[in-house]
Amino acid sequence: MDDQTGPSPRWVSTYLNQRHIAKIQARVPEPRPVVPHEISGYRLTHPAREMLCWWLSVRGDQQIPSADDVDLRSLVELTPYIRYMSWEGDESLVIRVFGSALCEAAGMDLRGVDLFAFGEYENRQRDIARLKLLPEHPCGAIAFWNITDQNGEPHLLEMMTLPIGPGADGKDRIIGTVMPIKKPEDMPEVWDKTMDMEKHLDFHDAIFVDVGHGIPQ
């Protein structure tokens, strides 16, 4: 997981281009599920909407999709922006898929990293409890996190987070997209920031996503 330096390969740069991002789609059959543009007054990024569209489509008549329902071929256009994680213990959440656009923005590939393996920090138990609640309710969540890039500039990230039920291995999972949030006039055409991964992300806010069962009170 060494830091990456130098110019991005052209195919990675394409995934960081806003015009490309605006056109990506989850490959789901028609009719596509109806997905809101706004939740609790917040306007979703396009990848977050497509992630929710995919999730609603593949779950069918189930409360939540299972790991056996996850076919990454249907997410090929979204995969650069996706993190797919599995619970390996009560407080162990390991990244299994970390998209190429996320690797570029992070400056490293975080596959195999346990999100909660870096010791106690303020509100660690709250973060774990919020993620554990998603399959239990069930519902989704959009978490907003503050992070700084390697030049010290602050950024706000949107993390669409949706539950995936266990497959044959019995492990619950979480899937979702990660996107920076900026006003349209402030968003560069091609995202060229590298985040400072030495610092812990600072929680900003979260909203729950109603997937047909209401939201936690």
User: Is residue 61 situated within a structural domain?
Assistant: yes
User: Is residue 215 situated within a structural domain?
Assistant: no
User: Is residue 92 situated within a structural domain?
Assistant: yes
User: Is residue 217 situated within a structural domain?
Assistant: no
CA distance 214 to 139: 7
The pLDDT, as a whole number, for residue 191 is: 67
The pLDDT, as a whole number, for residue 13 is: 58
CATH, residue 64: 3.30.450.20
Number of domains into which the chain is organized = 1
Residue 192's Cβ-side half-sphere holds a number of Cα atoms within 13 Å equal to 6
User: Is residue 2 situated within a structural domain?
Assistant: no
Residue 121 C-alpha from the chain's centroid: 21
CA distance 173 to 83: 11
Beta bridge partners of 148: 154
pTM confidence score: 0.89
CA distance 110 to 100: 10
Sign of torsion over alpha carbons 182, 150, 194, 71 = negative
Please report, for residues 5, 61, 114, 129, 190, the alpha-carbon distance to residue 85 in angstroms, rounded to integers and kept in the order given.
26, 23, 9, 16, 27
User: Is residue 3 situated within a structural domain?
Assistant: no
User: Is residue 172 situated within a structural domain?
Assistant: yes
User: Is residue 139 situated within a structural domain?
Assistant: yes
The full DSSP string for the chain is -PPP-SPPPHHHHHHTBHHHHTT-----PSSPPP--SEETTEEPPHHHHHHHHHHHHHHTTSSS-BGGG--GGGGTTTGGGEEEEEEEETTEEEEEEE-HHHHHHHTS--TT-BTT-S---TTHHHHHHHHHHHHHTT-EEEEEEEEEBTTS-EEEEEEEEEEEB--TT---EEEEEEEEE--GGGS-SB----B-TTSPPEEEEEEEE-SSS----
The pLDDT, as a whole number, for residue 58 is: 98
Task: Check: CB of residue 119 under 8 Å from CB of residue 182.
Answer: no
Q: pLDDT by residue for the chain (217 residues), tens digit each?
A: 333 444 444 445 577 788 889 999 999 999 999 999 999 999 999 999 999 999 999 999 999 999 999 999 999 999 999 999 999 999 999 999 999 999 988 888 999 999 998 777 788 899 999 999 999 999 999 999 998 888 888 889 999 999 999 999 999 999 999 999 876 666 667 667 777 766 667 889 999 999 999 999 8
Residue 178, domain extent:
10-209
The pLDDT, as a whole number, for residue 185 is: 62
The pLDDT, as a whole number, for residue 93 is: 98
The pLDDT, as a whole number, for residue 183 is: 64
